Structure 1
Amino acid sequence: MQPSGLPLDSPLLPEKLKESGYSTHLVGKWHLGHYQEKYLPTNRGFDSFYGFLTGSSNHYTHRRCFEGFCGLDLWNNTEPDLQYKGKKSYSTYLFAKKSAKIVKNHNPKKPLFLMLSLQAVHEPLKVPLKYKEKYKDSRIPPGKRRRLAAMVTCVDESIGYLITILKRRGMWKNTVFVFSTDNGGSISEGSSNWPLRGEKGRYWEGGVRGVGFVYSKLLRRRGRKLRELMHITDWYPTFVGLAGGSLKGTKNITGFNQWNTICFGMHTKRKEILFNIDPCSDLHGERLPGTDFDTRVKSSIRLGVWKVLTGRQGRGHWFAPPYEKHLTMKDTQPQENNVWMFNIAKDPLEQKDLSKVYPRRLRLILDRLAYHNRTAVDCTQPRNDILSIPYLNDGMWGPWL
């Protein structure tokens, strides 16, 4: 409902790949702004788009309710897809089939970039009965955790189907397949990040350490874990580099081309990850003297093996899975705390706060946060626009200005 979107002043990944001759397609979630048509995927570099524009919707009806307003959110390029209105079509099936159709209709002689951004396993936790049945005798108790497991199985099966189509088309041998998540799981929706600390929405490792894998016959070293630092912004220059493209014309690219790290196991050029500096958060606690950075502000940064968090981070519990609840550990630190520092290489569970043990190192890292903060653009939070409601837009969540 906010009149905002990803800024238009720098080309997105699909735009750069098109410069290298790629066909570009997005299936599934967009959620990068849609209040004007110029912010839609097909105006940001994708040749085609099939999916939903907002953050989530009903997996079967594709309707979204927000702030008391409900409407359909299913689009085929820039037009509403009304063929499923009043019907039920499970999103994972639907998006996997649409992706497979793109592959089937694609000319293998032309390079292809396909981004499949599934709605699963995002809430609401819904899944066809046959996948629930697979877990009826499991040790996972009935409820959200079991439904989540069933949804993961459905995702796995759908990805397998897409890979089968790529193989039949003779495209698999030259494909770089990346499977990744955007954040840790939400405990209230059946997820578990155990034994890591915290969850989605927090800066503890359970919230920011995303899992994923890369498969390709082009990889020189396979079957290994990548322990180098990598951030989601690295995919942009990595893919552009693989495509033989150029970053010319892009604005403030902070990512690194990680292909040599992924393919050959070379050390990464990335030395730090700025997780966030949130100027919109409430100030918390007392400001630490001796640094230009205001430690009352919610933030987090990783510098080498060291990770620092500041501000109001919320309780950082270690949530065990439902069937092992006795292993859950509560965060017992004083609530007024607003500075933490951990050696993630030795303490990935973030159990030993070293902020008072190494004060000079802490301030050096806080100075790095101050440096990044000086480069930040103003934080804008436009008010929700009543003109965006589906009732005023033919029952759809979509462009309204």
Structure 2
Amino acid sequence: MPTISVGGVVEPVTPNIDSLVSEGLELDRFYAHKICSPSRTSIQTGRSPIYANVQNVKPEVVNEDDKVGGWQGAPLGMTTVAEVLKDQNYSTHFVGKWDVGMATESHTPYSRGYETFFGYFHHSNDYWGQTEGKCHLKKVKDLWVHNETFSGPAVHLANGKHCKEKNQNPKGETCVYEEELLLGGVKDVIRGHESNNDDPFFLFYSSHLTHMPLQVPEEYYNKFSHIENDYRRRMRAMSNFFDWEVGQIVESLKEANLYDDTLIVLHADNGGEIMTTFCGGNNYPLRGGKFSNFEGGIRVNAAVGGGWLPEERRGDKEERLVTTDDWLMTYASLAGVDTTKLTDEGAVALGLRDFTGINQWGMISGQEEGVVREEVIIGDTTSIEFNGDGKTLVGGIIQPPYKLILGAENKLHRVSQDVTTPQNYPDGSDRVPEAIMKKCDRTAKHGCLFNIFEDPTESHSLSEELPDIFNTMLQRIDELQEEVYSPERGKKDDRACEAAMDTYYGYWGPFVHDE
């Protein structure tokens, strides 16, 4: 439970989330990709990132030679979770961070099964200015609305030009924190279903928090004045704001008499960002963080709650493996789909991988064993840049209780962030975690084989002590490497800026259109 200490009195930072977890099911071994877009692609498509997307490129890229995968995010032709649920007569809604493609209308949430969309397309944007990146030296906004009556940039929700982190109450101007806008969108969806409780709906709320930039309303920032380090203070304040949002959503469901029939799934898309102190993240006691394949980068907080969770599972902690690609099959099962027969024929016809996720509802509900996940595939890339393009790699596997990490050959087999940050990190130290590397190659001497159940901090490699297991897992990585999906995503296309500035009033939006 995250806590803060004020004058010796321990206070929770996330009381609403803590309550949801204590009254729900904690998924203690939930794994995501080490960066945003691949995790989100995996959730939407029900595929492991190595079969869909391991790159965190921006949505303005295009490779004209590849009409399926020559873009950011989910390859065209892959059926999404929203499309599966929509076929089962669910209404589908997306609020928040998309990060799964924007280049064409076909990449947008409203073309991939979501009937309504209120959010932004990129990795992040400014919480006050709603801006991300520039075109011709001018900042571009990123906030979009799609519903029955309107589809386009959210110009009507723009803040005043003086609204910013250091000026949250400019005289005579509108200045609303972006997360408050998104929360309003979530509440609108819930209220829209209040009058018809028999109408099933799927709401995917992808909060901006607690992503960079570290920005938060002054009211929340001031709550944590006892914390000296500004970055840690901001991260705590942002976490506290997100917790308030979770409480608001739960209360809205209850007020609409929907809570008892709702399953709430809460999890992160990667570990906290610890690369430099100004990121404010901390994954204590795990090693590493976002952008690293150590546990701190890929083993993330996750829980299932809500009134639909069977009573016998409430308050439990589950140690069995769950991954991002499991949600599509799990949600499909809840919607009445026979997941043993569910296949993505259209994607397979294009040469893409079929669904790889496992229906985890039997395990989550405790009503039956179901299929047990025996392996987690860890994705990686040859890209040197954090958000660049590169070749798809298998960066390791987990076969309980063992985990094997393999660094990219073009990076001298080095895995970044070989460090466990202190409990109060960032704490004013000048360490740079991404510069602390560990060599993880194919030799027993420098192999990185860990028993993560007995050694969760990955402090002691067993590659020399268990050579047979080490070599068997290496062979499995080689087998998986033969199957990866590795398109060239392309380069930034000038049409993205042309559309933003000439068509969308200074907002990002789809920019490649059928001729």
Scaled by the length of structure 2, the TM-score of the pair is 0.70
Distance 1:266 1:340, change over 3 A: farther
| Aligned equivalents of 1:112, 1:75: Cα separation in 2 | 21
Number of residue-to-residue matches in the alignment: 385
Q: 1:155 aligns with which of 235, 239, 242?
A: 242
The residue type paired with residue 458 of structure 2 is E
Give the match's secondary structure for 1:225.
Answer: strand
CA deviation string 1:272-305 (max 9, x = no partner): 00011435469xxxxxxxxxxxxxx671211121
Residue in 1 that maps onto 2:184? 97
Deviation at 1:92, TM superposition (A): 1.5
| RMSD across aligned positions (CA) | 2.5
Contact kept, 8 Å, 1:19 with 1:245, in 2: the verdict is: no
User: Where does residue 79 of structure 1 map in the other structure?
Assistant: 152
Give the aligned residue type for 1:273. V
Mapping of 1:1-400 within 5 angstroms? Answer: 1-3=60-62, 4-5=71-72, 6-65=74-133, 70-77=139-146, 78-87=151-160, 88-106=175-193, 107-137=196-226, 140-187=227-274, 188=276, 189-217=279-307, 218-219=309-310, 220-247=312-339, 248-250=342-344, 251=347, 252-264=354-366, 269-280=372-383, 299-311=395-407, 312-322=414-424, 336-338=439-441, 339-389=447-497, 390-393=500-503, 394-400=505-511
CA distance in 2, matches of 1:308, 1:177: 32
Deviations 1:108-147 (A, max 9, x none): 220010011011110111111111121123xx32311111
Partner of 1:293: none
State whether residues 378 and 394 of structure 2, in contact with CA within 8 Å, keep that contact through their aligned partners in structure 1: no
CA displacement, residues 20-74 of structure 1 (integer Å, 9 cap, x when unaligned): 1111000001111111111111110001000101111011121112586620111
Judged with a 3 Å threshold, the aligned counterparts in structure 2 of structure 1 residues 54 and 238 are, in CA distance, closer, same or farther, namely same
Amino acid corresponding to residue 74 of structure 1 in structure 2:
L
CA contact (8 A) 1:279 1:379 kept: no
The residue identity in structure 1 corresponding to 2:323 is: H
Unaligned runs of 5+ in 1: 283-296
Q: Which amino acid aligns with 2:402?
A: W
State the TM-score, normalizing by the size of structure 1: 0.89
The one-letter amino acid paired with 1:75 is W
- Which consecutive residues of structure 2, in runs of 5 or more, have no partner in the other structure? 1-59, 63-70, 161-174, 348-353, 386-392, 408-413, 442-446
Relative distance call for 1:332 and 1:183 in structure 2 (3 A) is closer
Q: Distance in 1 between matches of 2:360 and 2:200?
A: 20
Q: Specify the alignment match of 2:40 in structure 1.
A: none
Query: Is this contact kept in 2: 1:318–1:331, CA < 8 A?
Result: no
Q: CA deviation at 1:97?
A: 1.1
Query: Could you say if the C-alpha distance between residues 153 and 333 of structure 1 is closer, same or farther in structure 2, counting changes exceeding 3 Å?
Result: closer
Kept in 1: contact 2:396–2:405 (CA 8 A): yes
SS of alignment partner, residue 293 of structure 2: coil
- CA-to-partner distance for each residue in 1:361-399, whole Å, 9 max, x for gaps? 111001111111111123423111122123355311111
Supply the AA of the counterpart residue of 1:129. Answer: E
User: C-alpha separation between the residues in 2 aligned to 1:351 and 1:125?
Assistant: 31
SS in 2 for 1:83: helix
Identity %: 29
Distance (Å, rounded) in 2 between the aligned partners of 1:334 and 1:92: 35
Sort the Cα spacing of 1:130 and 1:383 in 2 relative to 1 into closer, same or farther, 3 A: same
Cα 1:135–1:325, aligned 2, differ >3 Å: closer, same or farther?
Answer: closer
- Contact kept in structure 2, 1:29 and 1:117, CA below 8 Å: yes
Change (3 A) 1:180 1:315: closer
Q: Matched residues in 1 for 2:318 and 2:134: separation?
A: 39
Aligned residues of 1:234 and 1:258 also touching (Cα < 8 A) = yes
Aligned to 1:191, what secondary structure does the other structure show?
coil
The answer to whether the 8 A contact 2:375-2:400 is kept is yes
Which amino acid letter does the alignment assign opposite residue 146 of structure 1?
Answer: R
User: 1:17–1:243: 8 Å Cα contact kept in structure 2?
Assistant: yes
Q: 1:332 and 1:21 mapped to 2: Cα distance?
A: 50
Please tell me the residue identity of whatever aligns with 2:209: A
CA 1:113–1:281 in 2, change beyond 3 Å: closer, same or farther?
same
